[in-house]
Amino acid sequence: MFMTIDPLRADVSGVLFAWFSPAFPTGGFGYSHGIESAAADARIHGEADLLAWLTGILNQGAGWTDAVLFALAHRAAQAGDPNRLSELAELAAAFAPSRERRAEAIGQGEAFLAAVREGWPDAVVGLAEEVAYPVAAGACCGRIGASLPDALQAYLTAFSANLIAAGVRLGLCGQKAGVRILSALGPHISGLALRASEAEEYDLGGCAFGSDIASMRHEVLEGRLFLS
């Protein structure tokens, strides 16, 4: 058993800003979540297509499954249940639809835990080294006593911003268009965070098959800029 960190001893909002900042060293900039191969196949052409693609990922794909796993890990950490966290780590790895997506989730999870361990070592107690990003992030947020809806919104905003940045680097849109996309995704992110806050394990599931197939096709893409 382990105890949740007293939120009165931590600037929780400041910690969330730090953990989900683009500057936090999770290596997220190296992953496109299949967007690179979708662009190479001309399935994403510009701002409107990228917005539609990301909306689908959030509502029917990894955005939803990650949010549910995050919520489950948050609750397990607050309950002081390391066995449940181990189960969720295995479940999250099994949910990856491709080799690269698994590497993306585990790689960012490991990097996130390594960074948190340097500044907030108590937040990683009870977590194994190999943990998918949403489980690692959810558990650490639970350990510091962060509000689940607020933590989910921070996580999902960072997730979306990272994929928008990938689209900008791929030339699908410019920076101003990227800001418009992030603004348009705001209501989806807020709604998703609230729904996932109440979700249970049986709510897991997705149907963003285009994104999943794109991640598989990326494995054989020549001249790749991203790792996924």
C-beta of residue 92 within 8 angstroms of C-beta of residue 105: yes
190, 153 contact by CB (below 8 A): yes
Domain map (residue ranges) of the chain:
34-217
- CATH T-level topology, domain 34-217: Urease accessory protein UreF (1.10.4190)
Task: State the Cα–Cα distance between residues 225 and 135, nearest whole angstrom.
Answer: 27
- For the chain, percent of residues with pLDDT exceeding 90: 65
Helix or strand holding residue 194 (H, E) = helix 175-197
Contact (Cβ atoms closer than 8 angstroms) between residue 208 and residue 56: yes
8-18 tens-digit pLDDT:
345 888 899 99
Give the number of other CB atoms < 10 A from CB of residue 35: 28
Per-residue pLDDT tens over the stretch 146-201:
999 999 999 999 999 999 999 999 999 999 999 999 999 999 999 999 999 999 99
Measured distance CA(120)–CA(99) in Å, rounded: 31
In the chain, the N- to C-terminal Cα span, in Å, equals: 36
Q: What is the pLDDT of the chain when averaged over all its residues?
A: 89
